Amino acid sequence: MLPIDLSGKRALVAGVADDGGFGFAVAKAFAEAGASVCVATWPPALNIFLNLLERGKMDESRKLRDGSLLTFERIYPLDAIYDSLEDAPDDVRSSKRYKDVGDFSIGGLAQRIAADFGDQSLDIVFHSLANGPEVKKPLLEVSRAGYLAASSASAYSLVSMVQRLAPLMRPGGSVCSLTYMASERAIPGYGGGMSSAKAALESDTRVLSFEAGRKYGLRVNTISAGPFASRAASAIGIIDKMVKYCAANAPLAEELTATEVGNTAAFLSSALASGITGSTVYVDKGYHAMGMAVTMPPGVEPLGA
């Protein structure tokens, strides 16, 4: 037996606010493999997330194979569009959902982890962060501000996290993120500059794999996941159509599960993947391999129609 073993490892998953998305599935897979798991949550969603945990509303989804519940070593506030607290405008820092959480910047996250666990206390960083405020707009209608906001939240946030968290990571550690095939192919309806942000994320993954590999001994990869109807993905507006289209046209004609992405993240973060870095790993039932549509489910119009 060749197990995925993350025993004795500490993982940080940035971008967990509920139990319905890839970030939660990744955190759960890390825990199943034996890692201790910290998560970082967007401040406006933090209290809701904490209340769901405290009231047991996520107990069923938190169940691990041995019957225990997934627990988080720490839950940190994080708004990854800010490198330091000083970068956040006064109205954000003083707003109801931000003012009592402390330093919610990426730099603040790094400082809290160092204070809680010391230097070289992290082994795994998983970036599950993406936001495009104009995602429903086609590229021809996207504003400069919307385009740059998508790139800032979805791509540069990874660069900033590696800059600040890599010094806290042990050699041999893993950094991984989530991308999407819109980085390389046109996906009608996936707008707001998000396709450009994902392309930048994949390019940065390759460059960071070299720089962080040589400087810190870290591996950097990204997972290109197929469409999945999470709560966050509902912002796209066509996610159900995307899921059905890909399931109908992929080599494995079935819908992707979050668990499949989580298991891949656990593998990439383990010693079994010690030779893999700078890679985009597809977890999409093989849809990326297709060059022509096969069929559409009854009653579903083609994307872009």
Active site residues: 180, 190
CA angle 8, 12, 18 (to 5 degrees): 120
The verdict on whether residue 207 carries a ligand-binding annotation is: no
Angle formed by the axes of helices 194-216 and 144-151, to 10°? Answer: 30
Residue 129 among known ligand-binding residues: yes
Contact 269/6 with Cβ under 8 angstroms?
Answer: yes
Q: How far is CA 247 from the centre of its chain?
A: 22
Decide if 191 contacts 135 (C-beta within 8 A). Answer: yes
> Residue 171: exposed, middle, or buried by beta-carbon count in 10 A (0-12, 13-18, 19+)?
exposed
Give bridge partners of residue 122 from the DSSP assignment. Answer: 169
Q: Could you give the CA distance from residue 257 to residue 243 in angstroms, rounded to a whole number?
A: 11
Annotated ligand binding at 198? The verdict is yes
Q: Is 8 helix (H, G, I), strand (E, B) or coil?
A: coil
- 15 is an annotated ligand-binding site residue: yes
Q: For residue 237, say whether it is annotated as part of any ligand binding site.
A: no
Give 168-192 as a DSSP string.
GEEEEEEEEEEE-GGGTS--TT--T
Indicate left, alpha or beta for 172 from its phi (over 0: left) and psi (-120 to 50: alpha): left
Closest by alpha carbon to 19, among 36, 41, 35? 41
Main-chain dihedrals φ then ψ at residue 195, nearest 5 degrees: -65, -40
Taking the chain, what is the end-to-end CA distance rounded to the nearest angstrom?
49
Helix (H) or strand (E) holding 221: strand 219-225
As given in the structure block, the two tokens for residue 212 are 């962080």
Q: Which residues are annotated as a binding site for NAD(+)?
A: 15, 91-92, 129, 198
Question: Residues at the annotated binding site?
Answer: 15, 91-92, 129, 198
